[in-house]
Amino acid sequence: MYTKCTLQQQWINPLENVTLERYFGGSSLAHGMGLEEIPTDIHNKKGKPCEARPICLHAFSDLTYISPVVFLYLLKECYVCGTSKATTKFRALQRQVHRVLYNAPQPSAATFVLQCLYVLPLFESYCEGFSHLLISSFRRFVQSTKTDITEGKDLAAQLFLDVVEGLVPHGEKIAAKLLEVFDIGLVNIENVMCNSEVDNSSLGAAKTFLEQYISKLIESQSYEMAVSVLEQFSIRQSGETFLLKMMQNKEFRAAEKWATFMGPSVLHVLVQEYLERNMLKSAYLIIKKHHFRQDYPDVCHKYKESSLKKLAEKGCWDVAELKANRNCQLIEYLVYLAMEAGYSEKVDELCKRYSLEGFVKTKELVVEDIIWVDEVNSLCDATSYIEGCKVIGIDCEWKPNYIKGSQPNKVSIMQIASEKKVFILDLIKLFEDAPEDLDCCLTSILHSSRILKLGYNFQCDIKQLAHSYAKLVCFKHYEMLLDIQNVFKEPRGGLSGLAKKILGTGLNKTRRNSNWEQRPLGKDQLEYAALDAVVLIHIFSHVRSEAQPSNISQGNTKIEWKSHIF
């Protein structure tokens, strides 16, 4: 019987006579290790220079006389000395260890890896990472060479028992990998426990041990490890009960693994549990993976509708249409989503493309006088007109950026609307051609206490304008600004939803995510931009002249808006 004590004693004693000069020669191991270089100027944690220790290329070329502890020490030195990031170094070592296993480790690759795993706890902080490295490298080695690891199974079973009993301090993940990679069976556990080879008819000690171990895992809520053990030893008891317990504790990953092992009946229970918890995506993925579509047609359809809705909310109509895959029901659902969001142009487009009839077109606001401003003279004319207004609507647009973590693009245009006209300022061109004139004109408008300026969720626009044009004074201060969103406190629907409730007609939001930096802007883009500003005037006019609608807030009193001016 293998014991931790004798194994460690056997492998550690040779280290007493090991010197760095013997195993660390003059040639670099960088080429052999797959690392770019091992630096000669190594520094410790305090930044002070340390003695350089080049590693001998010969050390890993033949493992016939290299003990596990020396191998691990060399491995640690390679990892410490590398200049790349930790993940890169780890992967390089993983590839090299896979190659090293071909270099005659004694008495065999399987035994050598297991001996290393016994020794690794001595390396403290390197233990967990190097344990995964060794096992994953050995898995690749076995898969590529079809090596017979029968003789190593009993030693792997011994290590598994030592880990379970706390004699060798490895975590549960290492224990689970041991079971899987070495394919440990009940007979191997029995062999180790009885210290002799046994036949398959007498496995009582192993079964008793595993039952007690599994009970402890479940009691401590280590469900993934419990499932790994149950699966490895083909124990199929309490399938549905165990599944429900994992679901109650939100151990969904372990529950899926267990249900897959148990088969269709338990998988169906898992699907029902997901549906009861409104976890539609999880249920759909199980249905798709295990070919249960015919059993749950409604679930599949609901999931597809949910996916379309999420895409529609992001304005990704083209992607949503591709997802619908010309399915008539899904296309009609997409039309309803477009109608609900006020994307009347998309409604018309879909109805025409798929020959859909019976959909009522949404009434839209129309702006007739849209003036494009991209040079100084037209800017001065616009400013003179706006200074004569008492109330104006303001909005701005910029090109969306879909790269996660990147900075937003510069604000491209600013729309300023009166009741009769909408001026669309090309901020990018005006800032390039006449920054001082742009700053002066916008300061006279935005800083004026005589003009009430209306916006919707304008805090976002203010921040983006200041970031885009940090050198301009005009965007650092505002007077008489009223955010319509704060007056109504509409949590859903946005400006289009508010316009629908107040004015009875929504906004066409199809061009919201278009390229606002292209020149010239398209007609649809200009109309969209103009409406976003002018609709604020219409809503404010309704607020001043009409009683507050009952579907916006309870009661029939006038909406109080003056207190929201800042």
Amino acid at 168: V
Read off the DSSP letter of residue 548: P
CA distance 164 to 142: 25
Alpha-carbon dihedral 140, 144, 148, 149, rounded to 10 degrees: 0
For 236-262, what is each residue's pLDDT tens digit?
766 788 899 999 999 999 999 999 999
pLDDT score, position 564: 63
Percent above pLDDT 90 for the chain: 34
Helix (H) or strand (E) segment spanning residue 385: helix 376-387
Q: Which two tokens stand for residue 463?
A: 């921040």
Q: Where in the chain is the domain with CATH 3.30.420.10?
A: 377-564
* CA 526/CA 296 separation, integer angstroms: 46
Q: Which class for 279: exposed (0-12), middle (13-18), buried (19 or more C-beta within 10 A)?
A: middle
Gyration radius of the chain over CA positions? 35
DSSP states of 50-71 as a string? Answer: -------GGGGT--TT--HHHH
Q: Rounded mean pLDDT of 140-149?
A: 88
Mean pLDDT over residues 67-74, rounded? 87
Is the pLDDT at 128 greater than 70? The verdict is yes
| C-alpha distance from residue 174 to each of 123, 163, 241 (Å) | 16, 9, 27
Q: At residue 201, does pLDDT exceed 70?
A: no
Rounded distance between C-alpha atoms, residue 491 and residue 480, angstroms: 24
Tokens of 201: 């008819």
Contact call for residues 157 and 1 (beta carbons, < 8 A): no
Where helices occur in 489-522 by DSSP H, the ranges are 494-503
Mean per-residue pLDDT over the chain, rounded: 80
pLDDT, position 544: 67
329 phi, psi to nearest 5 deg: -65, -45
How far is CA 46 from each of CA 42, 78, 380, 439, 473, rounded to the nearest angstrom? 11, 20, 63, 52, 47
Of 274, 276, 278, nearest in space to 289 by CA: 274
Angle at 241 between CA 238 and CA 246, to 5 degrees: 115
- Residue 542, pLDDT > 50, answer yes
Q: What is the pLDDT of residue 384?
A: 95
DSSP-derived secondary structure letter, 522? P
Contacts of 556 (CB under 8 A, 6+ apart): 547, 548, 550
- pLDDT score for 378: 95
pLDDT of the residue at 20: 30
Compute the average pLDDT of residues 530-558.
66
Distance CA 359, CA 32 (A): 70
In whole angstroms, what is the distance from residue 428 CA to residue 435 CA? 10
Q: How far apart are CA 245 and CA 237, in angstroms?
A: 14
- For 320-324, the CB contacts below 8 A with 24+ separation are 321/350
- Model confidence pLDDT, tens digit, residues 412-448: 999 999 988 999 999 999 999 999 999 999 999 999 9
- What pLDDT was estimated at residue 489? 66
Q: Are 117 and 137 in contact (CB under 8 A)?
A: no
Tell me the per-residue pLDDT of 447-489, one tens digit each, with 9 for 90 and over: 998 899 999 888 888 899 999 999 999 999 888 898 888 877 6
CB atoms within 10 A of CB 554: 8
Q: Kindly report the length of the chain.
A: 566
pTM of the model: 0.52
Asked if pLDDT for residue 5 goes beyond 60, the answer is: no
Cα–Cα distance, 408 to 398 (Å, whole number):
8
Q: Residue 495 is which amino acid?
A: L
- 263-318 pLDDT tens trace: 999 999 999 999 999 899 999 999 999 999 889 988 988 899 889 988 888 888 88
**Whole-number Å distance between alpha carbons of 43 and 50:** 5
Q: Is the pLDDT of residue 11 over 50?
A: no
| Contact between residue 367 and residue 530 where contact means Cβ atoms under 8 Å apart | yes
Residue 37 has pLDDT above 60, yes or no: no
Q: What is the DSSP letter of 290?
A: T
Mean pLDDT of 351-356: 87
Interatomic CA distance for residues 433 and 67, integer angstroms: 74
- Phi, psi for 310 (deg, rounded to 5): -65, -40
User: What kind of architecture, by CATH, is found in domain 377-564?
Assistant: 2-Layer Sandwich (3.30)
Residue 200: per-residue pLDDT: 55
**CA geometry: angle at 369 spanning 366 and 371, to 5°?**
125
Model pLDDT, residue 358: 65
pLDDT > 70: percent of the chain:
78
